[in-house]
């Protein structure tokens, strides 16, 4: 396994002025892997990419590429290519010349270039656009040109910084599939940055969850989803109810005034823990059959299921159920042992997983981070 590690980041720290943006990042990326850096806006994803690409030199730590330290190799000599957040196409060149740019720098013959550009254009479905001005293209088309331009020089690694961030939902889904296809057919390594957990879950081999310049968790999508390491990860990847609990002994946990069986072991006796229960893992039952009882305070129809908020002893739970409930109904809840996930207490404990202030609009607003990115990039 060690021998096919392509990139290794060791103890990378980056500061801008007094702000430490990356705090000791340790991460390795295997050849051919689709690795995603996932985290909220401003957590240091772009900075991490820039360290790998060579636009940002780390204050401390090593960047290792194929076993060689490349801290001192300038950007234009690294075998990685980047798709920038806002494409960064060259406005004075047409589509053909944009894609041919890297090849011309490498002094390839014009017939080789023509062949490669044609190949790239068909890869990204833009045949016939050769002579178009890039400013006349739609966002999706510009994105494809950016991909073609980066891939034309046959990089070992492609760095993609929120490449789909500016596209609408439908186009986004299509492009996700296309990108994944491209990655698989070319067999090159993708380091992909996004703040969209769904995108990360559906595309990646490995997800790196970051917050505040610190890697919170590295793992496969299912690991990350099913076994989040702390409240931040649990909340960021999908919806979670996170409540305080006490681990009475192995496989027994108490929360919300009830004892539950679970599958987790290895905690100290009576250790305070965070308990995660995913909304879709809770069954609604009659009050007398429920382990917990509560009152429905809101109901939202979501198509496949209803999303209801249930008040249990003052703590609001979110539950997804296919049975319609009404506001004010008293219901019971049933939770299977394998639906319960126990996490150690962390700095994030108590900050996430309570839906008492839940509002959908608020959730929507906090998602798109492009607005924030714009102002950051100005400096």
Partner 1 sequence: MKKHLHKLYGFLIFAFLYAPILVMVVYSFNGIKSRSVFDGFSLQWYQALFDDRLILESFYNSLIVAALSALIATVIGTFAAVGINKMKNRPKQAFLFVNNIPVVNPDIVTAISMMILFVFFLSVTRAMEMGFWTLLIAHVTFNIPYVVLNVLPKLRGMDNNIYDAALDLGCTPIKAFLKVVLPQIMPGIITGVIMSFTLSLDDFIISYFNSGTSFQTLPITIYSMTKKPYSPKINALSTLLFVFVLILMLIVNLRQSQNEKSKNKGGKVQATSPVVKRVIAVALSAVIVVSCAFVLVRLNSTSEIVLNVYNWGEYIDLTVIDRFEEEYGITVNYTTFDQNESMYTKVISGSADYDIVIPSDYMISKMIEEDLLAELDFDNIPNYAYIDDAYKNLEFDPENKYSVPYTWGTTVIMYNDKYVDPEDVADKSINLLWNEKYAGNILMFDNPRDVFGLALKKSGYSMNSLNPDEWAQAAADLQTQKPIISAYVMDQIFDKMISEEAYIAPYYAGDWLIIAEENEHVKCYIPAEGANMFVDSMCVLKSSNNKEAAELFINFMCETEIAVLNAEAIGYATPHSGAMAELDPEITGNEIIYPDKEVLSKTEVFVNLPQDVLTQQSNYWIDLKIESSEE
The residue ranges that bind ligand ADP (CB under 6 A) are 16, 21, 39, 41-47, 373, 376, 379
Min separation Cβ 302 and ligand ADP, Å: 29
What is the phi-psi region of residue 154: left when phi exceeds 0, alpha when psi lies from -120 to 50, beta otherwise? left
**Is residue 82 at the binding interface for partner 1, with CB under 8 A as the rule?**
yes
Closest CA to 211 of 103, 303, 346, 109: 346
Closest CA to 280 of 313, 252, 310, 240: 240
Sign of CA dihedral 164, 167, 170, 171: negative
**163-185 burial code (b ≥16 CB/10 A, e <16):** bbbbbeeeebeebbeebbebbee
The entry of partner 1, ligand ADP, Mg ion, none that residue 216 binds, CB within 5 to 8 Å by partner kind:
none
Q: Which of 11, 26, 69, 106 is close enough to bind partner 1 by CB under 8 A?
A: 106
**Is residue 197 at the binding interface for Mg ion, with CB under 5 A as the rule?**
no
DSSP state of 177: H
Min separation Cβ 376 and partner 1, Å: 12
Q: Which of 102, 213, 245, 353 is close enough to bind partner 1 by CB under 8 A?
A: 102
Q: Name the residue nearer to ligand ADP (CB basis): 41 or 94.
A: 41
Min separation Cβ 21 and ligand ADP, Å: 4
From CA 206, how far away is CA 223, in angstroms rounded? 10
3-state class (DSSP) for residue 281: helix
From CA 136, how far away is CA 121, in angstroms rounded? 17
Return the range that interacts with partner 1 (CB under 8 A); candidates 21-29, 96-104, 213-221, 333-341: 96-104
- The interface with Mg ion within residues 19-78 (CB under 5 A) comprises 46
Min separation Cβ 204 and Mg ion, Å: 17
Q: Name the residue nearer to Mg ion (CB basis): 307 or 373.
A: 373
Return the range that interacts with partner 1 (CB under 8 A); candidates 146-154, 192-200, 240-248, 359-367: 146-154
Q: Half-sphere exposure of residue 215, counting CA atoms within 13 Å on the CB side?
A: 19
Q: Name the residue nearer to Mg ion (CB basis): 13 or 370.
A: 370
Q: Name the residue nearer to ligand ADP (CB basis): 235 or 274.
A: 235
**Across the chain, which distance is largest between two alpha carbons, in Å?**
79
From CA 68, how far away is CA 77, in angstroms rounded? 14
Tell me which residues touch partner 1 (CB under 8 A): 53-55, 74-77, 80-82, 84-86, 88-94, 97, 101-102, 105-106, 131-133, 135-136, 149-150, 153, 377, 379
């Amino acid at each position: 396994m060690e021998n096919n590690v392509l990139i290794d980041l060791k103890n990378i720290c980056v500061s801008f002025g007094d702000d430490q943006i990356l705090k000791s990042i340790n991460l390795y990326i295997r050849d051919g892997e689709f690795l995603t850096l996932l985290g909220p806006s401003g957590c240091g994803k772009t900075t991490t990419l820039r360290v790998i690409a060579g636009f940002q030199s780390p204050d401390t730590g090593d960047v290792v590429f194929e076993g060689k330290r490349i801290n001192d190799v300038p950007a234009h000599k690294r075998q990685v290519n980047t798709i920038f957040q806002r494409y960064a196409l060259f406005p004075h060149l047409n589509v053909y010349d944009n894609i041919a740019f890297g090849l011309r720098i490498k002094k390839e013959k014009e017939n080789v270039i023509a062949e490669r550009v044609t190949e790239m254009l068909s890869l990204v479905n833009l045949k016939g656009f050769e002579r178009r001005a890039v400013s006349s293209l739609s966002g999706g088309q510009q994105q494809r040109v950016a991909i073609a331009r980066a891939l034309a020089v046959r990089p070992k690694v492609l760095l993609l910084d929120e490449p789909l961030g500016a596209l609408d939902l439908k186009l986004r889904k299509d492009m996700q599939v296309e990108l994944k296809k491209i990655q698989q057919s070319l067999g090159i390594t993708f380091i992909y940055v996004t703040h969209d957990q769904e995108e990360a879950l559906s595309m990646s081999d490995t997800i790196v969850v970051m917050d505040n310049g610190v890697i919170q968790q590295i793992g496969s999508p299912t690991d990350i989803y099913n076994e989040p390491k702390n409240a931040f990860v649990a909340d960021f990847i999908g919806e979670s109810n996170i409540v305080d609990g006490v681990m009475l002994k192995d496989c027994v946990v108490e929360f919300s005034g009830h004892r539950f069986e679970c599958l987790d072991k290895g905690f100290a006796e009576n250790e305070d823990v965070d308990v995660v229960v995913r909304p879709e893992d809770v069954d609604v039952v009659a009050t007398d059959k429920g382990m917990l009882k509560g009152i429905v305070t809101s109901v939202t129809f979501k198509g496949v299921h209803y999303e209801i908020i249930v008040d249990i002893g003052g703590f609001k739970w979110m539950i997804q159920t296919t049975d319609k409930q009404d506001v004010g109904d008293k219901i019971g809840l049933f939770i299977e042992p394998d639906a319960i996930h126990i996490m150690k207490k962390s700095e994030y404990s108590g900050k996430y997983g309570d839906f008492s202030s839940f509002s959908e609009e608020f959730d929507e607003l906090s998602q798109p981070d492009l607005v924030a990115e714009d102002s950051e990039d100005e400096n």
